[in-house]
Structure 1
């Protein structure tokens, strides 16, 4: 569905000199700085994947999305999406994609969402009978029937965003771009949008690209994550792999029925790489760095050797992991 090879985008930015004299000199001789917003990124996405593109502000996410949607022309590199080169075949290409920008609206402010939907159906030349059936499904699953006849300006943020999602899907695209779709929304509205997107991906095999700062969106929707930093792609893989690489490991707290020492626990764990610390006479905490690989061995070794009354397993949250990423320099890890 998406093939990106050695993609770059370079901007030439005017550097204004200070003071009245500097402004006068700028009239005749300007100074420029070259900024590489996207720096040689490559990745591929199969049809029907739901994945997240994340990064700090200024990491290059928005520039990448604008190139993928055909708004910006790359400085170098190749993009092919659904058989199209976005910036060269934009008119044909946009008929196959839907886009939702959380901070921008595609609905007409003084019209009702239903009137906007009808206009968009005409713009995209949607077949009448099939289009009505599809629109009815969108209205039902996004639960927008009660307010689609009100002017958009009178809708709450949560109501408007659900209508924005419906508007982006009115022509039944094969690829959906979502840029901060749940920003500022309450928990119930977020949950409704997430459930709808999961169902859409499962039933229609629609490819969905999500950019967000809300890590709960990523955990709820995506298995694959791409991480950008300073224009480069520093990670491309499964969310579970992201946790393994940048997480602080997994901590397992064992509550024993009898007094147990850290030396006894360390002895039964053998060569397993971990830290063993005492919490009290009956509780010991084991921190495992390679948690996915070693957790079963730790649990098996301890529980077969001691009488255990309780086990508590805790992992770093995805939010903690994302914070760790930007305090650590990393190399690209490819998706397998």
Structure 2
């Protein structure tokens, strides 16, 4: 059963953590094979579920240490029809694994339940195409129809909310927000940005947020930025604008490299955790409603610990 669907606690101003980069951690630190960078197949066997549980443990410990909440993300960023087909999953199999993801995190939440430690169960939606480029352009209507089945599974499985991560163009964001609204599910929309602080489509971040809000009646609970280093978007945020108040989450990359450089890199660039933490502290001064603090590619529990140290 959902615990926070009617009232998301991260909207009250209390800090919340997310995990770091699950894919890069599993691939480079745990030597787990991830075809097409998909994490959800790990749910299908006991060893994989144990690996996922170990991954979440240090982040839960940080949340307990700093007395903050945590958003638990399902490992379903690739669990949509296009990526699922590449891995041999049809619609029935995808629905099953998305339900399994919610059940897995629900069990994890119950094991770590504390009265003063809210744990939000979040169904993660990934882009239809690549997370770094506009590969599969859709209209908002097409995107809504495409992502609606996964959102419905999360709703019916008891997730508190859904989040769409690493979106590259605004039409997909609008479609996901519309599908979530139709399913009566709270949704967070997260864009990725290039080194110029713009979406891979070329659209400025502010206009993408404003357009999404205008078309959907400001339905998203909040917006986030993920899979980009703060160095790439600090100047955009420094301009100051009303849309900055809609950003509640940052999940930055560890590396200052561009998406193109990361795509061809054979080694993991973990960057400087303490510098990243200091940059998050600066971002908290630029973003009046920033409450969700986490990481993306290249980050692990060391980066989230440094962010906690600098910000909390």
Higher strand share: 1
State the TM-score, normalizing by the size of structure 2.
0.31
The structure with more radius of gyration: 1
State the TM-score, normalizing by the size of structure 1.
0.30
Higher helix share: 2
